């Protein structure tokens, strides 16, 4: 279901009849596709439409879900997609795009206008895939994003030279592998929430991101929340929610 408020405005103006609106609102809250139940009311409940986790999905299932979301929402967004999945979809969905760095595929946007600001930081160049998943997710949901990459604690001057970027930000997404110290450093420098994302980047004792996760959870800096390893999407979703709350309070 698309923007409910806009639809109700059409009812009030007489552009849509009460009878048409009644039929529209009787639509099931999900579409039954046998292999999936596509949530059509998620935007109404949470403010954001459903997103597809593409990893592991059969091509025909992914295509069916994407086509349904595009038809009903006017946009579709998928994370953890492969090049092969994109090649399959682009023959069926006009205008679909794919970014091999973030592994995001999309058509349209949930929000056309960008508002507010969040900062997405990552410690090293190897963390950029997770950072781009976060940045592009937040942008899809209507948030203006400032990127700050390769500012890990091994060269702290790189981060300190760009502190002006954090001014007027609603929150910061801090992404790091290895020992994951970046979130603690940023947490001590800013007055806004920090969402920490541990990545699986690192040598053996990094344990696939577990060491960075534990560092971030045990941070002595205040105002830090931690999401799962490599979960740029989850961090961006939370950042977009915080940004909306900040914009609402200013409005």
- Which of 242 and 10 is assigned the larger pLDDT? 242
CB-side neighbour CA atoms (13 Å) of 153: 14
- How far apart are the C-alpha atoms of 131 and 172, rounded to whole Å? 12
* Domains of the chain in sequence order: 4-107 (no CATH), 115-250 (3.40.50.1970)
What is the reported pLDDT for 39?
73
Compute the distance between CA of residue 194 and CA of residue 184 in angstroms, rounded to an integer: 9
| Confidence band for 1, pLDDT divided at 50, 70 and 90 | very low
Least confident of 1-10, 95-104, 115-124, 172-181: 1-10
The average pLDDT across 42-69 equals 87
For the chain, how many residues are written? 251
Q: Is residue 173 very low, low, confident or very high in pLDDT (cuts 50, 70, 90)?
A: very high
Residue 226 to residue 198: CA distance in whole angstroms: 8
The pTM (predicted TM-score) of the whole model is: 0.85
Strands 76-79 and 52-53, how do they pair? parallel
Asked whether residue 37 carries a pLDDT value surpassing 90, the answer given is no
13-25: b (≥16 Cβ within 10 Å) or e: eeeeeeeeeeeee
Rounded to 5 degrees, what are φ and ψ at 114?
A: -100, 140
Q: Quick check: 103 and 156 in contact, CB under 8 A?
A: no
Q: Which two tokens stand for residue 14?
A: 């007489």
Distance CA(24)–CA(71), nearest Å, equals 15
For 44, the token pair is 């109404």
């Amino acid at each position: 279901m698309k923007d409910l408020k806009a639809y109700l405005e059409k009812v009030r103006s007489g552009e849509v009849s009460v009878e048409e609106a009644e039929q529209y609102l009787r639509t099931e809250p999900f579409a039954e596709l046998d292999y999936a139940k596509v949530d059509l009311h998620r935007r109404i409940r949470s403010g954001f439409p459903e997103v597809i986790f593409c990893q592991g999905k059969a091509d025909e299932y992914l295509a069916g879900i994407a086509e349904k979301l595009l038809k009903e929402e006017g946009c579709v967004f998928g994370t953890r997609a492969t090049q092969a999945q994109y090649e399959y979809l682009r023959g069926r969905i006009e205008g679909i795009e794919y970014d091999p760095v973030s592994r995001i595929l999309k058509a349209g946007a949930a929000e056309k206008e960008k508002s507010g600001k969040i900062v997405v930081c990552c410690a090293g160049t190897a963390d950029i895939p997770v950072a781009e998943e976060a940045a592009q997710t937040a942008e899809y949901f209507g948030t203006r994003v400032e990127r700050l990459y390769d500012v890990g604690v091994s060269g702290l001057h790189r981060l300190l030279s760009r502190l002006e970027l954090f001014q007027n930000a609603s929150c910061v997404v801090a992404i790091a592998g290895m020992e994951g110290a970046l979130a603690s450093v940023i947490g001590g420098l800013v007055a806004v929430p920090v969402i920490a994302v541990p990545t699986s980047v690192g040598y053996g004792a990094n344990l696939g991101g577990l060491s960075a996760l534990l560092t971030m959870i045990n941070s002595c800096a205040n105002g830090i929340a931690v999401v799962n390893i490599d979960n740029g999407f989850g961090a961006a979703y939370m950042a977009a929610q915080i940004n909306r709350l900040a914009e609402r309070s200013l409005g």
